[in-house]
Chain A
Amino acid sequence: MAAITLNVNGSDHQVAPSDGEMLLYVLRERLNLTGTKYGCGEGQCGACTVLIDGHPRRSCRTNVSAAIGHKITTIEGLEQNGKLHPVQQAFIDEEAFQCSYCTPGMIMSAVGLLASNAKPTQDDIVRGMNGNICRCGTYPRIVAAIQRAAKSGGSR
């Protein structure tokens, strides 16, 4: 594949991926954005979740060519002017993680959820987040964090 331009976290990046390369690989290996994690490689765990034009997407199953011309946001792009995103802050305040390997994907899914639904019910949160796996088992605190972020205007 020829060199392409990807818009990641508000900046354009030139990369020259191989044919069929997944967005996750490009973000981690070519752009050194390692906040986005490999968990299963098949879109089943959610650790690789990023936003594409504001929608949560599994970057391990997104061919990089499908991301050309779209706005990609990773966990590294949420912080603004040194201030964490309300969802990030809510995860800290509710302590919604242990090992935290799933956390970037969780937070990106939550940001995407709140962007489309600023006041989600418990059921909305379950529906929106059920595909993100936390093996340490912090789910109740994740729900609480999303509710807290929603109250504080978490969709920003």
Chain B
Amino acid sequence: MPNYQWPSADKRKVIGKRMNRVDGPAKASGRAKYTYDTVRENMLYAHSVRCPHAHAKVTSIDTSAAEKLPGVAAVHVVNGSGKEIFWAGTDVVAVAAVDEPTARDAVRLIKVEYEQLPHLVLDFKEPDLAEAEKSEWYKVAEKATQGDPAAGFQQSEVVHEGHYGSPVITHCCLETHGSIAEWPDSDHMFLHISTQNVPGIGEQVANAIGMPAANVHVHQDHVGGGFGSKLGLDPWGVIVGQLSKKTGKPVKMMLDRKPELETAGCRPSAYARVKVGAKKDGTLLAWESYSWGSGGVGGGGSPPLPYVWKVPNQQKQHVNIVNNIGPARAWRAPNHPQACVLTMCPLDDLAAKLNMDTFDFVKKNIDLLDPRSKIYSEELDVADKLMGWKARWHPRGDKTRGPVKRGLGLALHTWGGRGHSSNCDLSIHPDGSVEVKMGTQDIGTGTRTSILQVAADTLGVAIDNIKLLIGDSDYPRDSASGGSSTIGGVSSATFRAAVDAREQLFAKVAPALNAQPADLEVADGKVRVASSPGRSLSWRDACSKLGAQTITTRGTNPDPDKGDLINSGVGGVQMADVSVDTETGIVKINKMVGVQDCGLVISPKQAESQVLGAMIMGVSYALYEEKVMDQTTGTMLNSNMDTYRLAGLGDVGELVVHLMSGPGYDERGVIGIGEPPTVSPGAAISNAVANAIGVRVPYLPLTPDRVLEALETAQTEGGRA
């Protein structure tokens, strides 16, 4: 039985090396093809009539003028007369035409009438519980209690209560959602689709169309961002399938930016009134929260409160608001960033009330962070060194002169990240070339590079010697890239396939080296006798012993017979250093430190990029992002990239990333890292702003108007007192 454990640090040649991503040249040259770039012969272009109302019933549709327009190939009613629409931007009628301008012209010729129905698009106001229980706009979750909250607050010498929250935001992938369908014959469909889920999306589209999943072939080379919004079935994949079937031609439909922001991405909001209590020495005793939020007609998520902390006495109640905005989608670490704000901000305020440094408050209560107390404690110390927290921290309110105030904030987070179900077919050919086939996808995280690093390390060959095929549903079945599950899945499956292939090769090569298979090893492009490295064959000569046979092995994850190479459950600590201009309300990030555990790191350059990118997305939602809805019209007011602002290159300050790796961490196995570092920035930055200006800005994003309002409120209240 071969050894199915990751090689020790001294044996790793390619795993853990700072390699550039293998798709770099394709991407930097513009040759990388996205779904949006794909053109098929005789392809038609589709656009939709979209409902302008947040809640309405379709009463009549007249497509006659559009059908007569030259160049229009087909008109397809998506939501016919009598259908109820639950958010603005919903597709009502789709048109396929010879080119985009014609499709847009046809859309303008279609007349749809609606009966408007009552809508709700807001979610900010604290719902009255008694009314919420009676209203169809709310879903009230059961009250959950642990310990004895009343006694906990009674024993608390310091109690703090406040409002906190973060709004609905969007994903805003730069490549909008969309797909191309074609029917090579009347039973089979070929789908190019911008997706995080090459293996699973075909089945979902097939179900919606009413055809066998086996008859849908899905392909994608590159995707221009997903962040959780491209995991599941969308109407657009179904629409192109139906239009293509109708016309007998390939049909492409990619969203414009406006419908993308209105309908193709929504992270639920979460607001709460939170009360926390502690002893004078900082011992955290009690938690009470009344939280609410929305993510469209399905309601919102339910933030896991209190986040990360095992507060001994707690009581919580959550209300989901059912409203008429675009549907909720998984957004990088679903529910965690919201929960982190709702927990780490009130605890930071409590620490301030206790006249404690939040760092000390966390350390004081470190046992409540079970089972990751040790990881958090070590990470806090690393972050302290990288930020200079202990040397630079000051109590609430920067007392230096001048309008610009500086402050520090911290937050901590967790995530699962266990590798998903994955399959890898690895072939070693007699000429020494190696082929790896997996039905996974690289959503920009560097999956291609990581797979190749594992295969190259295990076979002792150069990465250039390995041909990797991914992004196609005909390849061995993998899973969606969501939940930070890809790296654990693909690395384990690839490793097992490579180990088994290597064993088979050793069996063929051993006689030529006058050795037993178990005596052999691979290193530096050679197969050699471990105890006598001089007795070796070049990789190519070794593979020639296969004669006419190719070795093909299937590696699978999970595979309990072949060890466990992965793990779940990481911790991370982030610190932010901000400056706030108290005259303009503008918040500027000076520096952020992200310290992250993710077990064994396969590809450090990619892993660090994930943390950097997550922190930047965090800066973006902390300072700028909000899906602004207008209750009068029921529509989104900022459905463009001018007013739906994202962080730019000048907004992010200095970013320092530290991965907790090496002894004590590597042994955990591989764990996903894409999501966890997105969690803390909102709370860490909000806490830094509070530390700088001395008052809490309760809600994200921390826009100038909110900062100024918080300052004014504090001044007025201070004046009154």
Contacts and interface: CB of A to CB of B under 8 A. Distances in A.
Nearest to A127: B650
Interface residues of B, number: 59
Contact of A133 (B610, B640, B641): B641
Contacts of B176: 38
Contact of A102 (B100, B174, B655): B174
Contacts of A35: 29-31
B646 interface: yes
A125 interface: yes
Nearest to B611: A137
Contact of B175 (A37, A104, A127, A133): A37
A135 B225 contact: yes
B30 A104 contact: yes
Interface string A134-153: 11111111110000000000
A139 B257 contact: no
Given A18-B101, A44-B640, A84-B28, A137 B617 contact: yes
B223 interface: yes
B175 A101 contact: yes
B579 interface: no
Contact of A38 (B25, B36, B606, B615): B36
30 contacts: A29-B100, A35-B31, A37-B34, A37-B175, A39-B175, A39-B257, A40-B640, A42-B257, A76-B30, A95-B21, A95-B609, A97-B444, A99-B222, A100-B28, A100-B32, A101-B173, A101-B175, A107-B28, A125-B649, A130-B648, A132-B649, A133-B646, A136-B444, A137-B612, A138-B609, A139-B648, A139-B649, A140-B652, A141-B609, A142-B649
Contacts of B101: 18
Nearest to A18: B101
B29 A140 contact: no
B20 A93 contact: yes
A24 to B, nearest CB: 12
A136 B640 contact: no
A82 to B, nearest CB: 11
A47 B174 contact: yes
A40 B256 CA distance: 7
Contact of A103 (B28, B609, B617, B640): B28
A101 B226 CA distance: 11
Contacts of B263: none
B174 A92 contact: no
Contact of A139 (B37, B606, B652): B652
Contact of B223 (A28, A79, A99, A103): A99
A47 B225 CA distance: 13
B652 A101 contact: no
A117 to B, nearest CB: 16
Contacts, number: 162
**Residue from B29, B39, B445, B615 having most chain A Cβ neighbours under 10 A:** B29
A7 interface: no
A39 B641 contact: yes
A132 B30 CA distance: 16
Interface in B144-171: none
B652 A88 contact: no
A101 B613 contact: no
Nearest to A21: B101
Interface in A76-111: 76, 78-79, 84, 88-89, 91-93, 95, 97-104, 107
Contacts of A36: 30
B451 interface: no
A143 B649 contact: yes
B649 A100 contact: no
B614 interface: yes
B232 interface: no
B27 A100 contact: yes
Contacts of A99: 174-175, 222-226, 443-444
A126 interface: yes
B633 to A, nearest CB: 21
A13 B487 CA distance: 45
Interface string B536-559: 000000000000000000000000
Given A29-B100, A35-B31, A92-B25, A98 B445 contact: yes
A142 B648 CA distance: 11
Contacts of A93: 20
A40 B259 CA distance: 11
**Residue from A89, A99, A129, A132 having most chain B Cβ neighbours under 10 A:** A99
B476 to A, nearest CB: 24
8 tightest CB-CB pairs across the interface, nearest first? A35-B30, A137-B616, A101-B224, A99-B444, A75-B30, A137-B613, A34-B37, A98-B444
A131 interface: yes
A144 B28 CA distance: 15
B579 to A, nearest CB: 16
Contacts of A54: none
A59 interface: no
Nearest to B655: A140
A42 B172 CA distance: 14
A11 interface: no
